Structures are given as C-alpha cells and as structure tokens.
A and B are shown apart, each in its own frame.
Chain A
C-alpha cells in the first residue's frame, strides 16, 4: 500500500504523481533560479515589512503630537515693552492678572495656568543650567491655556480681548511648528509608500521574468502538454502553484526576519522616548497588516505567474 503523502516529503515532491489536483508534470521545483527567487522575495518582504512599520510609526507619531498640541496655546507677555524698556516685576504681575481675568471670561477657555518662576526655571534649565540666577534675567510672563475647542470666531474674539490689555502680548498656537512637522512626516510617509510600490513592482517583474525563463526552459514540454489537449488552466495551475509555494516560503522568511529585527530594536531602545520617537507601534491592526504581507506576496506571485503563462500559451497554435 502506498502512503498518499509520502511523496510530499521526498525530493521529487509529487512530480508527476497525482494526488487530487496537486501534480507537477514539469520539474519546476528543481529548476535553477528557484533559490534565488525565494531569496529575492524574502528580501522584498523584509523591506516591505520595514517600510510598513516605519509608516505606521510615523502615523502614531503624528497622532500623538497633534492630539497633544491641539487645543493648547501659550500666551507670552514679553519681558520688554514695545519701546525696549524692561518691565518691572509688579508691572508683569499686574499684566498677568489682567490677562487671567480676561481668559476667565472667555467661554472657549477650559483652563489657564500662569507659569510661576519655578515652572519657568524648569523650562530653561536645560539651556541655562540648574543654578541660573533667574532673578537677574528678564523673564517673560507665560500662561499655558487649554481650550474647549479651536473654533476660529471664538479664538479671534479671545485674541482681540487679550490685545486690549497690551498689544505686545504674543499668542502662540504652536500651529506653524506643528504644520511644518506634519509636512515633514507627510513626505516621509509618502517616501515609505513609494518604497512599497517599488518593492511590489520589482517583485512582479522578477517573478514574471523567472516564470518566462521557466517556460522557455520547458518550452518543448509545455508545447507537448498543449498538443495533448491540456487546457490552459491545467498548465497554468502548475506554474501558479510553483510560484505560490516559493512566494510563501520567501515572504515568511522575510517577514519573520523583519519581525525579529524590529523586536530586537524595541528591546534595545527599551521604549526610550528621549528622541521624541514613540515606541515602535504594535497595535493589533498594524500587526495584522504586517502579518498579511506573506498573503499579499503569494497573491502577487500567483497572479503574475498566471498571466505570464496565459500570455505564452495564447501564442501557441
């Protein structure tokens, strides 16, 4: 008695042996270039996984920054008056009080905190050092404001009201800074997208080339099958299964390697946020997206093989 699946583990891998529809009449799995193609697909999957994770990370970075800064602004009362004289302490304190009073009457304001000397000290410490003699340095007055919304009309009214107190007061919505940051992230994400497209195009080209060369190698045999009345599907199936197997092996290898590398990076960096980089994102959706890479690779490989073979067959009489 023959064990049905024994052939699967032997070197010939079901060559010419029928088990259901899974059979090769052509020795595709023994062809030269199979290993190369597998390696290429592994590499492409690795790069695609990296590009994907990179773009996801940028994504969550954007979200964190914009949600952190949205609806927040800083009001600055400059240490100098408009004519260049320094404000004295009492002057500054009274201005701060007036602005605070204005803010309290604005419906759009959720909370407002006047930063005291200690807060300011903490802010400038990285630049000036711990024991900076703050008393001798003219410091601006700062109020950190949180808004309920950023509705333009209410914002304008608030700005106008504050300007009444003193026209030199600066209202910083962080918008300009955030905008340029978002712009930069946007172009990085676009670059990642382009990389993914290039990877897909390269993979398609490589697989199509490999399949074409296999058809050339087995031209006489493919023609014979055709002459014996094999329908296109019968022939295509073999090439398609071959491409799919290679793509599955290659892309699993590539994606798992990428996962290992990313995991190592995560371990080494230890979630350190000193660089303002959020820890590598690993949300469920993103994990699924990366895990789906091998499936996408298989789909690309199978379809490419399919159309390449169909094209060659259509040229036969």
Chain B
C-alpha cells in the first residue's frame, strides 16, 4: 500500500491508491479519457499486491466482469467516463438486483455523446441516480479534491460491502487530472470493511434475506449451492413472476438504503448558519462556488455553501432544515440543470439554476454576480 506521507499528485492516482487501500483486488476496464490513467495504474499495481487486472473488450464486458469477480469473492471496480458509463447501465441494475458490492468511478466529461473528451462536465448526475431501468437506490459520492478522491474511494468500497450493491463515484475530468497535495495517514487511521461471507450451507442455502438488511454473500466453490438471478427472485434467489415477490424484493433493495440514509449521507457546509441564500454545489463546481461565497461574505452578504458529498441518497432532511431559514437556493452546475431539480423539489424554495456549459471550470464571478443579484 501507499506508505503514509504527502504526495503531490492527481485525482486519478489518488483514486487508484484509495481503491487498493479499500481492498480492491480486481479491476476490469476499457480505456476512456479522462479516466484511463486509473486503468493504466491498476494494470501495474494490482499484480504487485496479489490482485488481478484485465482490460476488457468494452464497458459492458467490464462491468459484467467486475460483478462476476465480486461474486467470485474479490472486491472489484472499474473506471470510466460518460460514453462508457452509458454502456454500463444495464449491468448496474444487475449489480443492484443481485446485491453485488462493486465500485464504479465515472469521471464526467462534456457530453452528450462523445462530447469533448478532454474537458469537464457534470451531465451524468441524474444518470447516476436514474440511469439503469427499474427502481434503484444508488449511492453516489462526489469528490471535490485529490484528497477526497483517495478518501471517498475507500469509503465507497466500505459502503459497497456494507450495503451490498454497486457504489458510484461521480468524479469529473478536472478532479481526475488536477494535481495537489494528497496526505496519506497511517493504516490504523483507515477503517476498511472486510468482506463477510457464507460458505457451505447447512441446509439453508438462501442467497438473500428480505427480513435482514444485511446478509453476507455466499462464496462459490464451497458447496453452498446458491442461485443468483437477474430475474425478480425470492430469498432463495429463485425467479418469480409474482407481484408480491417483486414488492418484497424491491422493498428490501430500496429499504436497506432508506433505513440507513443518515449513516450514508455526507455533506459539508460553509457559512450556512445565518445564510439567507444558500449555494448548492458539488465536485469541481463547489470550489468555484466557495470562492464566490467567500467574496460575497466580504461584501457583507449572508450567503452560505452546501456541498453534498453523497449526491445520492439525496440529503433531503438537511435541505428541508436549511430551507426553513433560507429564502433562496442557487445551484450552479456544469450542465443545463440537473441537481437543481431535487433541491427545488425538497426545499420548496425559489431555486435559481446557473448553467455552466460543459467544457470549462465554472467562473466564480458568474456565481458571485448571481449571489449579489439575490440581495438587491
């Protein structure tokens, strides 16, 4: 593992090393800007630590392979960007319905389609929530620094294990490529959740449990004789066409996240205590937003910053609380309005969108001007 110390490095390096720290021992991927450096570094690092790397034929194969590897017993991940993330959607649903822990880094770039491969965007935010068909309760982290690219990747591996589902890290091109200080602490400072498993079944080979939020995975090859199925299934993993089984399964899949939301949700606030206007920003945009808020405070304007670190589950409770003493939210994003929608829905306050076209880092002055306008 990366020895404790200070490193001047980029987000892709930090995410790779964070993954290894979090116990990742299998990577399957397909090259795509701006995340390719993760794949390249994994190809060198994984064999050194006794892990496995494979470059697959496409992103559909990559996500299928990491789900297969996780069911085989290893913590696994892939890294991609918009076009590859789109290809992965069907099997993100497979990971959800089969309750398979794995981690997917989506480094957002300008879209739609091939867009501008080398330039930043935040257009996949809703896709990380609603991209795969059917009802899902995804967990999505949004790092805004090299340090968080390391820390949140470890956390994502832990959450994947605890909640037994794919966890998404929605990073972006700038965070992946910018260089700044990464501080790696002593190993004791990091909690790493080990995979819990069930081996040979003693008569009871139910693959899943709908009364327990958490039941360990079985390991193939131990005589467990479990069935894992992409079809709607009962606790045995056996397929069913019954709407009542669908309900039971879905309420388990959604409920295990809903019931633990307060443990999962993370956010950071800056000067929100007396704020009349709150800027909600994530990823690279949150850094421009923070500068705008600082400058506005210097001008005496009562404005604060709310930065969701988990984009999903949506930090609904905190947004509702903040809305009680806030008259307006401003949501700058590098897209044409995505995260602004739940902010407006849950705050029930005036919510102003600032649309930064993908391709450039948001100019803090544009956010500042919008804050100033809110106080006139």
Same assembly: no
B interface vs A, CB < 8 Å? Answer: none
